[in-house]
């Protein structure tokens, strides 16, 4: 954490992380808090929220927790009002709350209820949260303080065919389009909008799948992940080893995973901090 604070100083900033009580959301919250950012964790489970906040007790940033159901606009408005009352402002909003496929079924057998439930959380939830955050950020910009960071958790499923999981993929593809449009609309208010696209990782959402030893052995080999790269069209760049950062190419583009990580991080940083690290 000392190293993180020495590179990224987010002291005085405030961020909301939906679904921040576990998995990717908790990781985001912990990283931000370690860098000095005050974080407000929004989740439906009060106990999980409390336990998540406790993990950041020793961080430079303060941790707050709010019970919030992102599918309910009133719940989102209430959580935002409480967060603003506690911290006075919100600089960043990470719309991470989401649900998985809930069991893979043939598309023709997918029920209307399953489809609507997926969109209610994964897409409508992002709409509710981003709208509340963007309204606050826009009002602040009008008052002479133009700044804001909107970040949504999308998925590689939005780019590559995910058979029997079309409802999940559709929500994530919609998120990609949403953040592009917001980036154009809100730029004049000093607000950026981006999405992160995680692949197969260990989290609460993928716990059941990751417990399948056959899946892990065949799709996610422990050493190099070659099967995943082959499936997605990636290939290892000749002459470079794992120790050099697993540089792979996709349609001729080189992608150093650490450099990419740094690029993603800068999108969530205060503008002045980004300018200091944009060349690294």
At residue 263's C-alpha, the angle toward residues 258 and 268, to 5°, is 125
- Output DSSP code: residue 236: E
168 is an active site residue: yes
Token pair listed for 218:
């065949």
CA dihedral 101, 102, 106, 110 (to 10 degrees): -100
Residue 245 near residue 262, CB atoms below 8 Å:
no
Check 29, 128, 168, 189 and give the catalytic one: 168
Phi then psi dihedrals of residue 152, to 5 deg: -110, 145
Packing angle of the helix pair 112-122, 124-142 (nearest 10 deg): 20
Residues labelled as active-site residues: 168
């Amino acid at each position: 954490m000392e190293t993180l604070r020495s590179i990224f100083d987010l002291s005085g900033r405030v961020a909301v992380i939906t679904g921040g009580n576990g998995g990717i959301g908790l990781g985001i919250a912990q990283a931000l808090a370690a860098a000095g950012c005050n974080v407000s964790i929004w989740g439906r489970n009060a106990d999980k929220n409390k336990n998540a906040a406790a993990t950041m007790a020793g961080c430079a940033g303060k941790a707050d927790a709010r019970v919030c159901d992102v599918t309910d606009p009133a719940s989102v408005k209430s959580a935002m009002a409480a967060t603003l009352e506690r911290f006075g402002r919100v600089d960043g909003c990470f719309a991470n709350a989401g649900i998985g496929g809930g069991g893979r079924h043939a598309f023709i057998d997918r029920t209307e209820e399953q489809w609507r439930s997926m969109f209610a959380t994964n897409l409508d939830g992002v709409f509710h949260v981003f709208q509340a955050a963007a309204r606050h950020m826009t009002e602040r910009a009008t008052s002479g303080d133009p700044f804001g960071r909107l970040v949504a958790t999308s998925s590689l499923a939005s780019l590559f065919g995910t058979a029997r999981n079309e409802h999940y993929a559709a929500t994530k593809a919609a998120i990609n389009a949403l953040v592009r449009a917001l980036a154009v609309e809100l730029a004049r208010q000093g607000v950026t909008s981006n999405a992160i696209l995680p692949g197969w990782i260990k989290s609460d959402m993928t716990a059941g799948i990751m417990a399948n030893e056959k899946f892990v052995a065949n799709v996610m080999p422990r050493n190099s992940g070659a099967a995943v790269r082959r499936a997605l069209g990636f290939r290892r760049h000749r002459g470079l080893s794992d120790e050099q950062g697993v540089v792979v190419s996709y349609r001729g583009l080189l992608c150093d995973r650490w450099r990419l990580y740094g690029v993603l991080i800068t999108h969530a940083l205060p503008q002045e901090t980004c300018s200091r690290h944009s060349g690294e």
